Structure 1
Amino acid sequence: MRADNRAALLRGARACLDERGYARTRARHVADAAGVSTAAIGYHFGTTDALLVEALMQGMEEWSAHLGDRLRSVPERPRRDRLAAVWGAVVESFHGYRGVLAASFELMARADEESEIRDRLRPTIEQARRGAALQILGIDPQHDPDRAHRAGAACYALLSGLIVQWLVDPDSVPSGTDLADGLIDTIGD
């Protein structure tokens, strides 16, 4: 039963993150969504914040896997067409993950004040950069770590900016074609 309560709390926390966001979710909300007592949060996670961070990290991992699947399905094409397809797939990957993506920015805002959160996010962001270099640009971090780091940081910056634009005004997010054209106009062909 205890393992079931832990899993129920993670599901409840995820539902609350999607519905309320990080900052507006309280222990009572999560416990009600999970169908358990608030004491179960302390038993399994110590604090509500620890539970929310765990649920958020799982949600981001789920979205990242979804994004990876979408990117792997983009066929090889000439550079401009591939960039357009890749960035289009990136934007499409946001659908169904609005709550998690928004809550991730709430958590990042807290990282400045809470070193534990910052320490947990650092390796996640570095892993995301390496993944972006490989999945978006085909640069293998094992074979060219410096180039992958630079390119992955650029991709991560674009990705983060796209998420912000999509969260604020999803109807005006640039298309994959617009992004590919903008990148090629900026860096050259």
Structure 2
Amino acid sequence: MGTRDDLLAAAKQCLAERGYARTTVRDIVAASGTNLAAINYHFRSKDDLLNLAMVESVSDAMQELLAAQADGEAGGVRVRLEEFWARLVGSFDTDRALWSANIEALAQALHSPEVRAPMAEGQQRARSDLAELLSPDNDANAGTVIVTLLNGLLVQWMVDRERAPTGAQITAGVLALADALKADGGS
């Protein structure tokens, strides 16, 4: 690996260990074995480096979930959706630091276009990937709903894990709404 890759790997490690807001350039330099000037040379700023590290970390986590989902594509949409939610909630436990850092980055995005732009791109990519995987006709609206539910579930899980909905509850709720809309004639 080169210096750029070392810095990116160190930034990902620091995000997982310290979170977005508490990661300093000194932390990254110490973890990477590089020097401070290398951050500016390769990434322009600590924020640009952390933004890329955050987007790549979340993207990697989502790709792992999607790959696991693709391996188990047997069953209908309901089964695939329940499996996706179960895997996602499981990743909140196994990758808690990553998901906590994601929440911090989302809060930073409110005030920083440099954070907002890559986060928005990552969410758009997730909507597309999830629609392709979980919607029988690759409906973009399905991906939009799933990402919206994912973000809400993440916040609820981080705030009150014990009472956050399960994947089965979310799937049942989506199906109940779909049934209600069908009964209403779709109007």
Fold-level match, TM-score > 0.5?
yes
Distance 1:86 1:120, change over 3 A: closer
| Corresponding letter in the other structure for 2:173 | G
Assess if the C-alpha contact under 8 Å between 1:70 and 1:93 holds in 2: no
| Corresponding letter in the other structure for 1:175 | T
For 1:85, which of 75, 78, 83 is the aligned residue?
83
CA deviations over 1:133-185 (Å, ceiling 9, x no partner): 12222332xxxxxxx23221111111111222232333443333222222222
Give the aligned partner of residue 164 of structure 1: 155
Give the aligned partner of residue 174 of structure 1: 165
- C-alpha distance in structure 1 between counterparts of 2:143 and 2:18, whole Å: 31
Post-superposition offset of 1:79: 4.5
Give the aligned partner of residue 14 of structure 1: 12
Structure 2 stretches lacking a partner, 5+ long:
183-187
Give the aligned partner of residue 46 of structure 2: 48
Confirm whether residue 94 of structure 1 aligns to residue 92 of structure 2: yes
Confirm whether residue 183 of structure 1 aligns to residue 174 of structure 2: yes
How many residues are paired up?
A: 180
Give the aligned partner of residue 144 of structure 1: none
| Corresponding letter in the other structure for 1:167 | M
Post-superposition offset of 1:22: 0.6
TM-score by length of 2: 0.83
Structure 1 residue matching 2:110: 3-state secondary structure: coil
- Pairing 1:85-124 to 2, within 5 Å after superposition: 85-124=83-122
Assess if the C-alpha contact under 8 Å between 1:60 and 1:100 holds in 2: yes
Give the aligned partner of residue 185 of structure 2: none
CA deviations over 1:56-77 (Å, ceiling 9, x no partner): 1211121121111122133332
Structure 1 outlier segments of 4+, above 4 Å:
none
Give the aligned partner of residue 134 of structure 2: 136
TM-score by length of 1: 0.83
Assess if the C-alpha contact under 8 Å between 2:19 and 2:97 holds in 1: yes
- C-alpha distance in structure 2 between counterparts of 1:99 and 1:185, whole Å: 33
Give the aligned partner of residue 143 of structure 1: none
Q: Structure 1 vs Structure 2: percent identity of aligned residues?
A: 32
Structure 1 stretches lacking a partner, 5+ long:
141-147
CA deviations over 1:112-151 (Å, ceiling 9, x no partner): 32223323333322221111212222332xxxxxxx2322
Which range is displaced more, 162-171 or 123-132?
162-171
Which range is displaced more, 169-178 or 59-68?
169-178
- C-alpha distance in structure 1 between counterparts of 2:132 and 2:93, whole Å: 22
Which range is displaced more, 171-180 or 24-33?
171-180
Assess if the C-alpha contact under 8 Å between 1:133 and 1:151 holds in 2: yes
Which range is displaced more, 98-107 or 169-178?
169-178
Distance 1:78 1:126, change over 3 A: closer
Distance 1:85 1:121, change over 3 A: closer
For 1:35, which of 33, 49, 71 is the aligned residue?
33
CA deviations over 1:24-77 (Å, ceiling 9, x no partner): 111111111112222221222121111111111211121121111122133332
